[in-house]
Amino acid sequence: MAASTDSRTDSRTRRRKSARRPKSTKLNTPRATPEAIQEFRTKSPRLRLISVWLVLILGMVGLGGRLAYLQLMIGGDLKLMAEEQQAIQATPRTSRRQMVDRQGNVVAMDRVMYTLYVHPMLFKRSGEAIAQALSSVLETDPHELVEDFGEQESGIKLAEDISEETAKRLRGLRLDGLDLRPSPQRVYPQGELFSQVTGYIDLDGAPKAGIEIELEDALKYNEPKSEVEALQIVTRDDLQMQLTIDSRLQRIAQENLAATVAEYNAKRGALIVMDSKTGEILTLAVAPTYDPNRYYDAEVEYFKNWAVSDLYEPGSTFKPINVAIALENNAISPNDTIYDEGRIQVGEWPIQNVDFKYIGGRGPISITDVLRYSSNVGMVHIMEKMQRSTYYEWLEKLGLGNATGIELPGEANGQIKERDQFVNSAVEAATTSFGQGFSLTPLQLVQLHGTLANGGMKVTPHVVRGMVNGEGELTWSPERSAPKRVFSPETTRQVLNMMQDVVDDGTGSAAKVDGYQIAGKTGTAQKATEYGTYGNQRITSFVSIAPVSDPRYVVLAVVDEPQGENAYGGTVAAPLVKKMLESLVVLEGVAPDEVASGKQQSSPAEAESN
C-alpha cells in the first residue's frame, strides 16, 4: 500500500505525504487493521458467546414471565373470555315435554317466544329511524316507540310473545341495540278441549291445575347446568306423556255437553266415559271450561275440574250399587218381590217415591221394577234386609269416603256419615239406600259403576297412560293401586240385566241405541241448600254401561241445576248419553249385540255385494 501511494504522489506531495503519514495511518487505513480484528476475534470468542447466551436467556426469561403473567394473573379472565367465545348459545326452545292424546295428537307443547328489549345507548342510528323500522315489523305506532326509547338508557321491554318469524324479520333489520331474549312458552293447540285435564301454565312459567301441576316432575326437563348447557340440550329425550283421552270423543262430548247445559240453562255439567276393563278414561268433558292459552280471560272457578273435586249426592244412580251389595250379601235374590207402599215413615222422616203423587204405591214389585221405576221405598226395604253394620262395611269397602287416586289435583274425598251415626240411626241407612245422605264425586260414581261393568273389580280411573318414546313404546307409567275384587261376576251380571230393563222400558229409555243393548240408570237428586234442607234445585244424572253382552264402557252424564219443568235425569242427561254412545260404538268399534251370532249382520252385506 505504501509503495503504491508513493509511486503516485511522489513528485508533488512529498512534504504532504510525510506530514500526513501519521494521520494517514489513522484515516485512510481502516479503523481496525486486519490483525487487530483477528486479535479481537481470537482473543474473545467467549465474550461473543456469552453475549449470545445472555440474549437467549433474556428472551427465555421474558417469555417465561409473560407466560406466568398470562396464566397466573389474568388466566381466569382469559378462560372466561374463551368460554364465552366458544360456547354456542343454544336457544332454550323447550322446558317441558309434550303431552299427546290417545291417538298421538299433541295436546300441550312448548314453543319458543321472544321478548324484545332495546338499549338506546347502543343505537347507531337515530331513534326515529329505528322506531320507523321497528313499527313496520311490530305494527305499533312509531311515536310511541320513540317515547319509550326516552325512558331509560338500556333494558326497555318493547314487546313480548314475538314469534319465530317476526324475530327473524327483526334480526334481518340489522339494527344495533335490539335484544331478543328467547324463552319457551307452553301452547295448547287443542284449545279448551283438554283444559280440564291438562291444566295450564301461567305467565311466570309455573303450572297451575291439572296434570301440569300434578305430574310436573315427569313433564319438566332437568335444568341444564350452566357449563355444558348446549350439549345437555342434545341429550334431552323425546318422551311424550300420553293421555288416555280420545280427542274425537272428547270433542263430541264437549260439544254436546255445552249444548245441553246451554239448553237447560244449567249451572254446570260433566260427561265422563271410562273403559272399565283398564280404568282408562276416554272422555272427561266439563262445562263450563276455559282456553288454557288465554287462561287470564277465564273465571277462576273454571280452573277447578269439578268432576274430580266437587262432591254431590248421587241419588238414584247409586241404587244399582246397593242392589249389588244386597245380592252379593245374599240379603235378596234376583227374583224376590218387594212391597212398594209409595210412602213410608222412617223414624221421624217421611220417605216417598218421586212419582208418589201420580201413581202412589205400586204394591209388590220385582227387584228389576224397583230399579225400573226408581222406587225409593223399594230400595229402603231392600237395604233393610241387611245389617246396618254390614252395610257400612260394604260402603267402606267400595271406597266411599276416600278418593279414587286419579292423577288430577284437588280430588275430593267422598263423605259418609260416621259409623256410629250410621249404625245407630235407621234413617241414615234408609237415605243411603236411595243415594242421598252421603256424597261423592262424579268420577267416583263412574268407578263404582265400573265394578258392575267389568265383573266386580274396582279399578283406578286414570287419565295418564304414561311416557312414550319416539317408537311409541311405554317407558314409564304412574303408580296405581291394583284392581280389587268387590263383587262376584254373577252379581254384576244380574244387576246389569236389571239395568238393561231401565233403558229398554224404564226411565232411561231416551238412551236407547239401535242395535245395542244398553244398561243404565237415571238419577234425579235434590240438592241440599246452604241451610241444610233440600231445596228445589236438582242435579240430574244418567249412568250407562254398554254393551250389555260384553260390558266395557261406563258413560256418566251429570247436569247440575237444569232449569225447567221437565228437567230430570231421563230427559236431560239420558239424551246426552245416547249421543255419546252412538259415537262411542262407532269410534271404538263396539260390535252391536246381534253380531255375536255372526250371521244376521253379515248377510245384508253379502246380499248387497251379490
In the complex, the residues that contact another protein under the rule CB under 8 A are 34-35, 37-39, 41-42, 86, 88, 90-91, 93-94, 105-106, 109-112, 164, 187, 189-191, 230-231, 233-234, 251-252, 255, 513-516, 579, 581-583, 585-587, 589, 591-592, 595, 598-599, 601-602, 605
Residue 11 C-beta: closest distance to another protein, Å? 28
Cell 250407562, residue? 544
Residue 218 C-beta: closest distance to another protein, Å? 20
Residue 175 C-beta: closest distance to another protein, Å? 22
**Residue 502 to residue 366: CA distance in whole angstroms:** 13
- State the chain's maximal CA–CA distance in angstroms: 176
The one-letter code for the residue type at 131 is: A
Residue 398 C-beta: closest distance to another protein, Å? 32
**Residue 573 to residue 355: CA distance in whole angstroms:** 19
Residue 31 DSSP class = S
Residue 400, phi-psi category: left (phi > 0), alpha (psi -120 to 50), beta (remainder): beta
Give whichever of 94 and 488 is closer to another protein, judged by the CB atom: 94
Give whichever of 239 and 346 is closer to another protein, judged by the CB atom: 239
Give whichever of 355 and 593 is closer to another protein, judged by the CB atom: 593
Give whichever of 93 and 181 is closer to another protein, judged by the CB atom: 93
Residue 499 C-beta: closest distance to another protein, Å? 19
Residue 571 DSSP class = I
User: 510-515: long-range contacts at Cβ-Cβ below 8 A with a sequence spacing of 24 or more?
Assistant: 510/570, 510/571, 510/574, 510/575, 510/578, 511/542, 511/544, 511/574, 511/575, 511/577, 511/578, 511/581, 512/578, 513/546, 513/578, 513/581, 513/582, 513/585, 515/592, 515/593, 515/594
Pairing of strands 98-100, 106-118: antiparallel
Cell 239424551, residue? 575
Give whichever of 105 and 488 is closer to another protein, judged by the CB atom: 105
In the set 95, 195, 316, 439, the catalytic residue is 316
Residue 439 C-beta: closest distance to another protein, Å? 34
Length of the chain: 610
Give whichever of 447 and 500 is closer to another protein, judged by the CB atom: 500
For 198, 341, 461, the CA distances from 480, given in Å and listed in that order, are: 19, 45, 9
Active-site residue, 433 included: no
Helix, strand or coil for residue 49?
A: helix
Contact 449, 545 (CB under 8 A): yes
Contact 493, 545 (CB under 8 A): no
Candidates 273, 279, 109, 94; CA nearest to 190 is 109
Candidates 504, 522, 521; CA nearest to 566 is 522
Residue 259 C-beta: closest distance to another protein, Å? 10
Residue 86 C-beta: closest distance to another protein, Å? 6
Give whichever of 234 and 482 is closer to another protein, judged by the CB atom: 234
Give whichever of 189 and 347 is closer to another protein, judged by the CB atom: 189
Enumerate the active-site residues. 316
